[in-house]
Amino acid sequence: MYLRYSWEDFRLTHIKRNALGGYVEIASTVKNMLWLPDLYIPNAATVINPVIFVPSTSFRIYENHTIFANQYLVLELSCPFNYALFPMDVQICDIALQSFGSSPCETNMTWAEHLPLTYSTSTLSQFSYHLHRSNDGAEKGVFHTSSKSVYERSQIHMYVVLTRKIMFYMMQIYIPSMLFVVVSWISFLIPAEMAQGRMLLTITTMLTMVSLFAAGSEYVPKASYVKAIDVWMCLCTFLSFFAVVDCLADVRLESMLSGESRRKATDTFVLTGQARRQTVVEIFMKYARAGGAPAQGEDPGERDEQIASANTLTEMLVKWFFKAHRASVIVYPVVFILFNIVYWVVCLGTLEELDLGARGVPV
C-alpha cells in the first residue's frame, strides 16, 4: 500500500517558492528533526518498508506550513474470519490507522477530501474484493489497560471486503456429489435379482463419495464449528449410505423368498410326483424322516398354529418392506430436492445479506 498523509506545523519557517513548485523536499537528515505523527496499525502482524538504495519514503514542506508524507509499505494483516457459510462466505477485514501515544485532542485524524481511498483492480485466486472507508471524521477507540484505566485514540478505518469465488467448489465438490447421489437413487430402480451388479454400484458410489469429500477437505479451512460445506457432505454421505443399506435389505429379502419358494417346490414335488409311484406308507415314512410329520408328543394343532403365525409374520414383514422400498424410491429424491432448496436459499440469502451489509459500511 501507498500511505499518504499530511499535517500542519506552524513552527516551521516560511518556505519560499522554488523551481519545483510551492514545496521543498526534505532530506533524511532534516526529517529526523521534525515532529512526525506516531501512526500505528493495530492488526498489522508485519510491516515492511522496502529499501532498494534509500527508504521508499518522501517528505515535502509546502508554503502553508503543511508537511506531506508518502510511504510505500508491505503489510501482513491479521483479520478474524468466520467460515460458517464457507464456501459462500463474505469476509471483512477492518484496517484501523491510529495514533499510538497521542490522545484525540492532540492528534485528530480525518480522511482527505478528494479521493481519499483508491485501489487497483487485481485478480485473487479465491476472492473478489472491494474497499470501503469509514466516515470523514475520526472515530474514538477506547482501550482498557491492566490497571483498569481507560485511554482514547483517534482512529480512521478502512474495510477490505472479500467475497469468495464459489465456482471452484461447485465444479470440484457440489456438482460431482449431486451426480453421485442421483446414481445412488438409480440403484433403487434395479431389480433385486441383479444383486451383484446393484451391490457393486451402491458400494462403489459411496466409496467414491467418501474419497471425493476427503480430497475436497484439503480446500476447506480448519475450524472447530460446522460449516455449510460440512452439512452438504454429511447429507450426501448419509443418502449414499442409505442406498447401500436398502440394497442389502433387498438382497436379504430376495434370498429369503428364494429359499422359501425352493422349499415349497420341494415339498410339492414329494407330495405329488412321488405319490404316483409310492404307497401312502412310504410317503408318510419319508415325510417323518424329513421332519414333515409331527414329532412324538407334539400337538399337531399347536404346530400348525406356529407355522401359520410364522407365515403371517413373514408375509407382514415382506409387505411392509415392499411398501418401504416403493416409498424410498419417491422419498429419496424428494428429500434431496427439498434439502437443496433449503440449503441454497439459506446460504445464498445470507450471502446476499452479508454482501449488502459489507457494501453498507459507512462511507
Supply the range of the domain harboring residue 65: 1-78
Question: CATH number for the domain including 203?
Answer: 1.20.58.390
Residue 161: Cβ within 10 Å count: 20
At 10, the pLDDT band (50, 70, 90 cuts) reads confident
pLDDT for residue 160 is more than 50 = yes
Same domain, residue pair 220 and 119: no
* Number of domains within the chain: 3
Quick one: residue 123, left, alpha or beta (phi over 0 = left, psi -120 to 50 = alpha)? beta
Which of 167-171, 193-197, 339-343 is the least confident region?
193-197
* 15, 61 contact by CB (below 8 A): yes
Residue 333 contacts residue 131 (beta carbons within 8 Å) = no
Residue % of the chain over a pLDDT of 70: 70
170 confidence band (pLDDT: 50, 70, 90) = very high
Among 215-219, 308-312, 313-317, 334-338, which is the least confidently predicted range? 308-312
Alpha-helical runs (H) found in the chain: 28-31, 167-169, 175-186, 195-216, 228-272, 280-290, 300-359
Grouping H, G, I as helix, E, B as strand and the rest as coil, residue 4 is: strand
103 shares a domain with 23: no
Q: Which of 61, 78, 95 is the last residue of a domain?
A: 78
User: How many angstroms separate the Cα of 221 from the Cα of each of 25, 126, 218, 247, 265?
Assistant: 48, 12, 8, 35, 62
Residues 99 and 246 in one domain: no
Residues 207 and 352 reside in one and the same domain = yes
> Tens of pLDDT along 71-88?
899 999 999 998 998 998
Q: Radius of gyration (Cα) for the chain, nearest Å?
A: 39
Report if residue 86 sits inside a domain.
Answer: yes
**What is the maximum span of the chain, computed from C-alpha positions, in angstroms?**
139
pLDDT in tens, 30-59: 777 888 888 889 889 898 888 888 778 888
Confidence of residue 145 (pLDDT cuts 50, 70, 90): low
Amino acid present at 321: F
Q: Work out the number of other CB atoms within 10 angstroms of the CB of residue 24.
A: 17
Range of lowest pLDDT (137-151, 292-306, 342-356): 292-306
3-class DSSP state for residue 293? coil
- Same domain, yes or no, for 137 and 179? no
pTM: 0.70
DSSP code of 138? P
The answer to whether residue 145 sits within a structural domain is yes
Question: Cα separation of 267 and 273, whole Å?
Answer: 10
pLDDT band for position 116 (cuts 50, 70, 90): confident
Domain shared by 210 and 341, yes or no:
yes
Q: Does a structural domain hold residue 308?
A: no
**Residue whose C-alpha is closest to residue 190's, from 173, 209, 205, 175:** 205
- 232 shares a domain with 197: yes
Q: What share of the chain is helix, strand, coil (3-state, %, to 5)?
A: 45, 20, 30
- Give the pLDDT band of residue 149 (cuts 50, 70, 90): low
The angle that helices 300-359 and 175-186 make with each other, rounded to 10 degrees, is 160
**183 & 103 share domain:** no
Q: How confident is the model at residue 19 (pLDDT cuts 50, 70, 90)?
A: low
In this structure, is residue 22 part of a structural domain?
A: yes
Q: Does the pLDDT of residue 165 top 80, yes or no?
A: yes
Residues with Cβ within 8 Å of 321's Cβ and at least 6 positions away in sequence, in order, are: 249, 253
Q: Are 253 and 334 in a shared domain?
A: yes
| 298 domain-assigned | no
pLDDT reading at 147 higher than 80: no
* Model pLDDT, residue 339: 95
Same domain, 193 and 55: no
Q: Is pLDDT above 70 for 271? A: no
Cα-flanking dihedrals φ and ψ of residue 13, to 5°? -75, 165
Instruction: Specify the pLDDT at position 111.
Output: 87
Higher pLDDT, 205 or 103: 205
Residue with cell 454429511: 234
SS3 state at 120: coil
Cell of 148: 483498569
Are 54 and 85 contained in the same domain?
Answer: no
Q: Which residue bears the cell 477485514?
A: 93
Asked if residue 100 is part of any domain, the answer here is yes
Is 272 a member of any domain?
no
Q: Are 63 and 23 in contact (CB under 8 A)?
A: yes
Q: Please report which confidence band the pLDDT of residue 279 belongs to, taking 50, 70 and 90 as the band edges.
A: very low
pLDDT at residue 64 tops 90: no
Last residue of a domain, one of 78, 96, 114: 78
User: What is the per-residue pLDDT across 316-363, written as a single tens digit (0 to 9) for each?
Assistant: 666 666 676 677 888 899 999 999 999 999 888 887 776 655 555 443
Residue 123 cell numbers, joined: 485478480
Nearest-10 crossing angle of helices 300-359, 228-272: 160
Q: For residue 169, which of 227, 121, 224 has the smallest C-alpha distance?
A: 227
What pLDDT score was predicted for residue 361? 44
Same domain (yes/no): 93, 40: no
Say how far residue 9 (Cα) sits from the centre of its chain.
53
Lowest mean per-residue pLDDT among 147-156, 226-235, 270-279: 270-279
